Every structure is written in C-alpha cells, then in structure tokens.
Copies of this chain bind each other. A is one copy, B any other.
Amino acid sequence: MIIVMKPGVTDQDVEHLVERLRELGLQSQISTGEERTVVGVIGDDRILQNQPLTVFPGVESVTPVLAPWKLVSREFQKHDSVIDVNGVKVGGTKIAIMAGPCAVEKKELTVGIAKEVSSAGASILRGGAYKPRTSPYSFQGLGQEGLDYLVEARKQTGLPVVSEILDARDLGHFLEKADIIQIGARNMQNFELLKEVGDYDKPVLLKRGLSATIKELLLSAEYLMSRGNRNVMLCERGIRTFETQYRNTLDLTAVPTLKEMTHLPVIVDPSHATGKWNLVAPMAKAAIACGADGLLIEVHSNPECALCDGEESLKPSRFRDLMASLKLIAQAVGRDL
C-alpha cells in the first residue's frame, strides 16, 4: 500500500501514521520528494481493508498495491478452471450453451422447450422457478413446483439444469434438484446467500450486478471460494448506463478482462442484457468472438404469451438458426459448441 501525504504535512503526522502501521504489524518506508512525502507500506496490505487510513491527519491518498482477492486470481491459479456440471464441462474448449425459458410456466411447455433446445445442440437447460420481479404485481414464479418441472425436463432430455435461487432457505431444494445454482444480478452482493452457497461444492453461476464493477464481481466470487466452493462461473449480463435504447449495455470488454484476471469460466447472457430478441443473435456471436466460455439464451415456444420476458425470447426455430451460426464463430476462434 502506498500512502501519499499532503503538501506541508508535519513530521508528527507522518510519525503518528507510521506508529499506527507498526501496531498493525506493518513496516513503513518513507521517501521525501520535492512536492510530496510518500509512505510505502511493506507487509500484507490486505490487513488495511479494515483501516480508514485517509482519515489520518496529513494523508492525501492511499493506493493498494495488491488486489483485495486471492483465490479467484490468475496469480493464484494459472490454468483455466473447468467446471464439471453433471458431466458437461464448462470452461474448456467447448462452449456451453445454456438455453430455455425465462420463467418455468407449465410442465409440458417446459419439457417441450427443453427438447427443442436439446435437439438444437444446447448442453444445459435454463429456467427460472423463483423470479425476482421489479413489480409486486408481476408473475412471481412457480417456486418449488417449477424446480420439479425442470427435474422432469432433465429426466427426459439428459440436460443438466441451471436455475436461480432467491432465498437461502431454499438452498436444500437447489442442492437436490439443480445442477447449477444461479445467483442473479440483484443478489451478487447478497453476502449471506454467497456464504451459504459457498459452503457446498455445487456449481454456481454468479451474475454481475447491474452496476457492479469487475472488482466487486471478483470479490463476490471470492466470498464463494473462500468458503470452499471452487465451482464458480461468472456471468456478464449487461450493466446499467445512460443508454435507454436497449434494456442494459452488454459489457463485452469484461470478457477478455476477466479471462486475464481470473481462472474462472465466463458466461454471457445476451437475452437479459439486450431485452430484445432481435439483438440476441448478434450479441451472442460477439460474445463468443471475444472469448466467452458459454452463453445463457432465452427460448420460448410462444413468446407472445410468455409470462416473463417474452420480448427477448427466441422461438425454437430462430434458436436453431443461431446455433448454426454460432458454430461458425466458435470455429473461427478455435473452439467448438
């Protein structure tokens, strides 16, 4: 950690700061320039996360030298993590396509869509049983019953299942029935939930919050990993900006950036990011072109009557076409679906 002192700082101020650092078991190295005195701190500066150093008299700014996370970093693990999801590998050469309805509605519909996406080449089935909805008057999901429909769909198609958890009290159901527990954008900093999910080794899909920085996403992943769960996948799903022409702004630069900073697989959700079905195909292609390890795509056999996010759902025939064009992009970057 590097501490820059204000111009005209007194020796007592510097002394007072160094004293405090010493109490914390850290050594200081003072260098005095023409315009500023700089205090370099030697030792594990993660200790300093709990210390409000800018509040000390004479301190102008504090810059950490080390990242505040450990287990998620490339420095900690050089090779890519490959997560085994009930036999399907996520994070290797093969790109994982997770497709299905936004919300689970009826059993036959769910199984029908599962069969469609399976035959089109998807490797994992997505579907929301519990739905976080902005308005209390919107459809709130089927809950446990929805999970059961997904289990039935898995039985009939063999596709592993990813579904979003909203409440730690449902964790038992998810451990039993889901193959990947999705932690949604709104819960990326629900730290209690992260801690509890982190206590198991069930694969987790951690979505980036609507206004979460890359650093905050990695710290949330660190919550999971520091409790023992190594099967973490990250998901970029659009961030909130001033642009209102589409629902969110898909931040694809996050993909190569995350691949450089962490060993964890990176998934992209073009459906929620754009909120418009006709933007899903181009953004899905772009995601694979810049290095994503997988995609989350919404498919519904009758978008006009979907109870949730019909606007962004692809019909099965369009999904099939998309899979064909994604295959070409994957090959162009040396990968496969």
Residues of A within 8 A of B (CB): 2, 4, 7, 20, 29, 31, 33-36, 38, 40, 42, 44, 46, 49-52, 54-56, 63, 65-66, 68-69, 75, 132-140, 166-169, 186-187, 189-192, 195, 210-211, 213-216, 219, 222-223, 226-227, 239-246, 249-257, 260, 273-274, 276-279, 282-283, 285-291, 303-304, 306-311, 313, 325, 328-329, 331-333
Q: Are A213 and B253 in contact (CB under 8 A)?
A: no
Query: How near does chain B come to A206, taking the closest CB pair, in angstroms?
Result: 13
Q: Are A245 and B222 in contact (CB under 8 A)?
A: no
Which of B42, B223, B311 interacts with A33 by CB under 8 Å? Answer: B42
Q: Are B260 and A240 in contact (CB under 8 A)?
A: no
Query: How near does chain B come to A114, taking the closest CB pair, in angstroms?
Result: 21
Query: Bound state CA distance, A216 and B245, in angstroms?
Result: 11
Query: How near does chain B come to A90, taking the closest CB pair, in angstroms?
Result: 19
Given contacts A213-B242, A239-B243, A249-B241, contact A306 B52 (CB under 8 A): yes
Q: Are B133 and A191 in contact (CB under 8 A)?
A: yes
Of the candidates A65, A210, A226, the one having the most CB atoms from chain B within 10 angstroms of its own CB is A65
Residue of B nearest to A260 (CB): B278
Q: Are A286 and B290 in contact (CB under 8 A)?
A: yes
Residue of B nearest to A51 (CB): B310
Q: Tell me which residues across on chain B come within 8 A of A189, comparing CB atoms.
A: 132, 134, 186
Q: Are A52 and B311 in contact (CB under 8 A)?
A: yes
Q: Are A49 and B278 in contact (CB under 8 A)?
A: no
Q: Are B288 and A289 in contact (CB under 8 A)?
A: yes
Query: How near does chain B come to A46, taking the closest CB pair, in angstroms?
Result: 6
Q: Are B244 and A244 in contact (CB under 8 A)?
A: yes
Query: How near does chain B come to A221, taking the closest CB pair, in angstroms?
Result: 10
Query: Bound state CA distance, A55 and B243, in angstroms?
Result: 21
Q: Tell me which residues across on chain B come within 8 A of A289, comparing CB atoms.
A: 282, 285-286, 288-290, 329
Q: Are A253 and B279 in contact (CB under 8 A)?
A: yes
Query: How near does chain B come to A295, taking the closest CB pair, in angstroms?
Result: 13
Given contacts A20-B304, A137-B49, contact A245 B214 (CB under 8 A): yes
Of the candidates A75, A187, A191, A273, the one having the most CB atoms from chain B within 10 angstroms of its own CB is A191
Which of B31, B137, B192, B277 interacts with A46 by CB under 8 Å? Answer: B137
Which of B7, B75, B134, B313 interacts with A219 by CB under 8 Å? Answer: B134
